[in-house]
A and B are shown apart, each in its own frame.
Chain A
Amino acid sequence: DQQVKQNSPSLSVQEGRISILNCDYTNSMFDYFLWYKKYPAEGPTFLISISSIKDKNEDGRFTVFLNKSAKHLSLHIVPSQPGDSAVYFCAGDFGNEKLTFGTGTRLTIIP
């Protein structure tokens, strides 16, 4: 039962352009969503989060949008930089301290 889905396993974007990573979820009880970034041979690191009472949260080059009616969230990175090349995981949480992760999207920024 995959409650969080990232249907694009990989994405390539030109440096300087916008990267858009998508995530869909099925569990209506999620009230908090997080994005993590993972480099090879390292653990995931927290990037940005959004509460379900908001539809947008911005932190520098990173913006997360939440569409509750569509059960969809997206991460926008603009402008994309080579250091953004990594695997990005979306995760949902409903306050039980148990994050449910998607399978990740590998983002490659082309110089």
Chain B
Amino acid sequence: DTAVSQTPKYLVTQMGNDKSIKCEQNLGHDTMYWYKQDSKKFLKIMFSYNNKELIINETVPNRFSPKSPDKAHLNLHINSLELGDSAVYFCASSQVRGEGADEKLFFGSGTQLSVL
């Protein structure tokens, strides 16, 4: 009964391939995110979706395309993988901050992507 689950946990692939990472949350949250943690340990937001609608797109290359079939799922598809895409990708969800709500994110356990 994991709150935010993402698969796969590890992904090793060749340059130029296309791959997807899936994420699901069972918390009933309205907002979902993709964060990337690079080799320098910076944890940076890539995208956020609120109720299936794209809210934030942080100048991520077009090769990255998020898809939200419903508010409980946010998948990340990456085309033409490059060496620099190697990182840990975290999915997260939150309830939109409102009166009495905390702006806290619930993270998945991460997907370690290695592009060879």
Taking Cβ atoms with an 8 Å cutoff, the residues of A that contact B are: 32, 34, 36, 41-46, 49, 89, 93, 95-99, 101, 103-104
Contact = CB atoms under 8 A, between A and B. Distances in A.
A103 B40 contact: yes
B97 A45 contact: no
A9 B110 CA distance: 21
A34 B102 CA distance: 10
- B: interface residue count bin: 20 to 34
B43 A101 contact: yes
Contact of B45 (A41, A45, A99): A99
Contacts of B56: 96-98
Contacts of A42: 109-110
Contacts of A93: 103
B103 A34 contact: yes
B108 interface: yes
Contact of B104 (A49, A89, A101): A49
B44 A101 contact: yes
